[in-house]
Amino acid sequence: MPITVGQDTSRTRKTLEAGGKTYAYYSIPAAQEAGLGDFTKLPAALKVVLENMLRFEDGKTVATDDIKAFSDWAANGGKGDRELAYRPARVLMQDFTGVPAVVDLAAMRDGIKNLGGDPEKINPLNPVDLVIDHSVMIDEFGNPRAFQMNVDREYERNIERYTFLKWGQSAFNNFRVVPPGTGICHQVNLEYLAQTVWTDTDQDGNEVAYPDTLVGTDSHTTMVNGAAVLGWGVGGIEAEAAMLGQPISMLIPEVIGFKLTGRMMEGTTGTDLVLKVVEMLRAKGVVGKFVEFYGEGLDHLPLADRATIANMAPEYGATCGFFPIDQETLRYLDMTGRDKDRIALVEAYAKANGMWRDASYDPVYTDTLELNMDTIVPAISGPKRPQDYIALDQAASAFGQYIKGQREGKDATPKEEVRWEGEGGAAEPTDIPGDEGLHKRGYVQTADHSYQLHDGSIVIASITSCTNTSNPYVMIGAGLVARKAREKGLTRKPWVKTSLAPGSQVVSAYLEAAELQEDLDAIGFNLVGYGCTTCIGNSGPLEPEISKAVNDNDLIATSILSGNRNFEGRISPDVRANYLASPPLVVAYSLVGDMNVDITTASLGKDQDGNDVYLKDIWPTQKEIADLVEKTVTRKAFLEKYADVFKGDEKWQSVETTDSQTYDWPSTSTYVQNPPYFQGMSREPGTISNIEGARVLALLGDMITTDHISPAGSFKETTPAGIYLRERQVPVREFNSYGSRRGNHEVMMRGTFANIRIKNEMLDGVEGGYTKDPKGEQASIFDAAVAYQDAGTPLVIFGGEQYGAGSSRDWAAKGTALLGVKAVIAESFERIHRSNLVGMGVIPFEFTGGDSRKSLGLTGDETVSIHGLDTVTPAAIVPCTITYADGTEKVIDLKCRIDTAVEKEYVEHGGVLHYVLRDLAGLTAA
């Protein structure tokens, strides 16, 4: 069925020819000629949004003034506050966030049926692709059978979810599923799904060309901006609304221009560049803004490196990091197997609509900053945040300072120096560099080895995640490091759990073509699966002896990852310090197994002749890497690997499901349950009520991430979620992870605020998901929330800066709402989580006038009342009365972060999905 893409009678609709075909398109130069404004100096990223306005101009949701506002933005130096109704072309999902989205759609079909509507109206109107990539866990590693065994376990654990998704694929229109074992959604998107310029057939049968745009239920959807596709992460709630035809409400963003000059020096990688970019942009402050990269440096920056930078936009806080279309975009589209006619269209369209980058490209930006790539040096980032950049030659000393800060005053007793035992061939120091008696240690005895672990021992080294495994330069580089290390007789330390989880099957194809996979295998980096694995907490268990030594001795074990996230508690419950690095550095660190070692100067081990081997001895040159990339990364490989991308293997094809309009919810399922959002839903919306006498559920600090709020990793049998599963006879071995059970609200409610590293300031020195219950006694967050709900007491949460940073986890908002939280009051919010809270009917508020939880002396024993909500307007200032435990009161002003009129409607309806459901049932005003 043709999708509505715009009006045939529009004054800006023109035609262009490319590859022997004629296309209609909506012309920005034509809009300028029609007197709608001067758009010549707009950044390409904003021209994409402007085109969206031209295409959907109807005088209602998109008015002429919306278009003119872009000209005003440029005239005002890159500033504007116009609210827009933006419609992306498509939606991308992964299974962790996608399963609950499809659960919601299935529940909405039940809900609309109960309201007297047609279930068939609950159907995606825009194309939706869901890639199953978050479920594979590294149970097996370091051997040839690892991949198949992990895949087998993946199906065993997730068959209920996969059955449900396969039902959704047949039940819903415009919904496709990429089966397990194919790749990571962002890499599949970049390499196959994305087109840079999209086409569709309008109501009259004409082919219309327009920019490829999307939203995704994963924050790293931004990766595809490296190929000039405008996309960013949203919560599943917002994505569902977009699927169902609701425009995304957004303000014209500020656009920060990031000028790149020079070129990368010998010995550096795209990872080193992106870690510096993350540091610079976090310091600049770009939350809620677009970042567009420009400058002559782009002439020397392969698209793979651009995608690496675009991928980490959530880490530097931006909505997206965009690269305009240029000659490199066309080269990449050709190399990855895109149709030749499509490539011709991309070039013709970009040039016709002013979106082509060449030497004359010089738009207006809100603000700019600049980086000379000649200055980039090898680097890592950690131990807790992606923006904590460390030059590689400073890494060991920085880690020493971190340990000192962790241990000083806690355990300063000098320890007897202990020699490491066992095999390895590498230099095995008898002392820990910078050791001041602060390091803790633990002895490990396995069937094959005995050795001493200590603070800084690297227990996980993983080449994983979409950020780097999409980049053949760093992947080939990692393989060459492994080859040279193998030739010197070096291998990983026995306590290091090594893994390779590429983002697509194409990576395996070129590693095998280059004969590098054999070298990686020899070092321990065997293929473990095609998925996110370690990056989203699916590291799998460490060997029991290692885990026991770490926990019994309170060791600060470390990981080295080629991913994009290293937040506390994310990677493994046994690992406290996590470092991001390029894939070649991940291999190099696995050889020494210790963050205390300065790998830029220390010997990595000894070769067969007893000579010391240094990093420079195994590091490949840029020419070596480039030659192998050119030889092995071919158009043919992409065409072959993506030929049957939706078909899947025999395991996927054998998954059986029912053919029905609504889902038959299995009552015994612990993975998929009908959520309570629409049960008993009235035909009419309500009003926003004042909050009276609320109690504090949690008092939280700065940079509380969605990992802290809704963790995706493993959980123990003693947690509320574990108890729930044990009560249903689920053995601990089958618990899987929080992320895999996002289709069951009962598990996820119990997992909300249950991160093992979260610190509720209501409790002194306690880590984990605990608070005070109505009696003032320590209890789990879930149990306390249930007790408050039983008493009819509303709840609020206080937070610090950047509340809700990190992944676009809708359950961080859903769980908050289901626990009975009516408001979150923080110093500032990260974009996606604020939107998700509104989408679930939870009101975000920001402190004003320099107030904070600390300046107000909050302890969590207060009661909170917020008035003025019954007449609230977007971004209004409202009074909040805080009543302290001793009865004293203080009235402060809060800024209501319901930012737009549409968002106010969502909250009045109880959430965006309730709004959409009533709308599709014909119960909302025209």
Q: What is the mean pLDDT of the chain?
A: 91
Indicate the fold that domain 90-375 takes in CATH: Aconitase; domain 3 (3.30.499)
According to the model, what pLDDT value does residue 551 have? 92
What residue ranges of the chain are covered by domains with CATH 3.20.19.10? 691-710+752-909
Q: Which of 89-103, 583-597, 883-897 has the lowest mean pLDDT?
A: 89-103
Picking from 807, 750, 773, 801, the residue whose alpha carbon sits closest to that of residue 698 is 773
According to the model, what pLDDT value does residue 806 have? 75
Query: pLDDT tens digits for 828-856?
Result: 998 879 988 999 999 999 999 999 999 99
β 612-613/605-606 pair status: antiparallel
Mean pLDDT on 263-281: 96
Spatial CB neighbours of 749, under 8 Å, sequence gap ≥ 6: 782, 815, 818, 819
The answer to whether residue 317 scores a pLDDT higher than 60 is: yes
Return the beta strands (E) in 297-376 as ranges: 320-322, 367-372
Collapsed DSSP state (helix, strand, coil) of residue 378: coil
CB 685 within 8 A of CB 918: yes
Locate tokens 């930006």: which residue?
365
The answer to whether residue 587 scores a pLDDT higher than 90 is: yes
Query: pLDDT tens digits for 504-528?
Result: 999 999 999 999 999 999 999 999 9
Share above pLDDT 70 across residues of the chain, in percent, rounded to a whole number: 95
According to the model, what pLDDT value does residue 808 have? 63
According to the model, what pLDDT value does residue 6 have? 59
User: Where residue 250 falls among pLDDT bands split at 50, 70, 90?
Assistant: confident
Mean pLDDT on 59-74: 94
Mean pLDDT on 229-243: 88
Instruction: State both tokens at 71.
Output: 């000209």
Return the beta strands (E) in 625-726 as ranges: 691-699
What residue ranges of the chain are covered by domains with CATH 3.30.499.10? 90-375, 394-633
According to the model, what pLDDT value does residue 469 have? 82
The answer to whether residue 425 scores a pLDDT higher than 60 is: no
According to the model, what pLDDT value does residue 245 have? 83
Mean pLDDT on 142-149: 94
The answer to whether residue 1 scores a pLDDT higher than 50 is: no
According to the model, what pLDDT value does residue 438 have? 59
According to the model, what pLDDT value does residue 418 have? 28
Locate tokens 């805080």: which residue?
882
Spatial CB neighbours of 6, under 8 Å, sequence gap ≥ 6: 13, 26, 54, 55, 56, 57, 202, 208, 210
383 cis-preceded (ω within 30 degrees of 0): yes
Q: Which of 83-92, 196-205, 416-425 has the lowest mean pLDDT?
A: 416-425
According to the model, what pLDDT value does residue 442 have? 83
Instruction: State both tokens at 320.
Output: 């997206």
Integer-rounded Cα Rg, in Å, for the chain is 27
β 197-201/255-261 pair status: unpaired
According to the model, what pLDDT value does residue 697 have? 98
According to the model, what pLDDT value does residue 895 have? 98
Please indicate whether residue 806 or residue 108 has the higher confidence score (pLDDT).
108
Query: pLDDT tens digits for 902-925?
Result: 899 999 999 988 998 998 888 765
Domain at 394-633, CATH class: alpha beta
Query: pLDDT tens digits for 163-199?
Result: 999 999 999 999 999 999 999 999 999 999 999 999 9
The answer to whether residue 36 scores a pLDDT higher than 50 is: yes
Rounded to an integer, what distance in angstroms lies between the CA atom of residue 447 and that of residue 323? 52
Mean pLDDT on 681-707: 93
Mean pLDDT on 491-497: 96
Q: List, as one string, the DSSP characters of 419-458.
A: ---S---S---SS-TT-SS---EEEEE-SS-EEEEETTBE
Instruction: State both tokens at 377.
Output: 């040096």
What is the number of residues in the chain? 926
According to the model, what pLDDT value does residue 5 have? 58
According to the model, what pLDDT value does residue 717 have? 93
Mean pLDDT on 813-824: 96
Matching CATH number, 691-710+752-909, of 3.10.450.50, 3.40.50.720, 3.20.19.10, 3.50.50.60: 3.20.19.10
According to the model, what pLDDT value does residue 413 have? 31
Amino acid at 83: E
Rounded to an integer, what distance in angstroms lies between the CA atom of residue 660 and that of residue 664? 8
Please indicate whether residue 682 or residue 771 has the higher confidence score (pLDDT).
771
Rounded to an integer, what distance in angstroms lies between the CA atom of residue 746 and that of residue 767? 23
The answer to whether residue 583 scores a pLDDT higher than 90 is: yes
What's the pTM?
Answer: 0.84
Mean pLDDT on 648-663: 90
- Cα dihedral sign, 607-609-612-618: negative
According to the model, what pLDDT value does residue 237 have? 81
According to the model, what pLDDT value does residue 431 have? 45
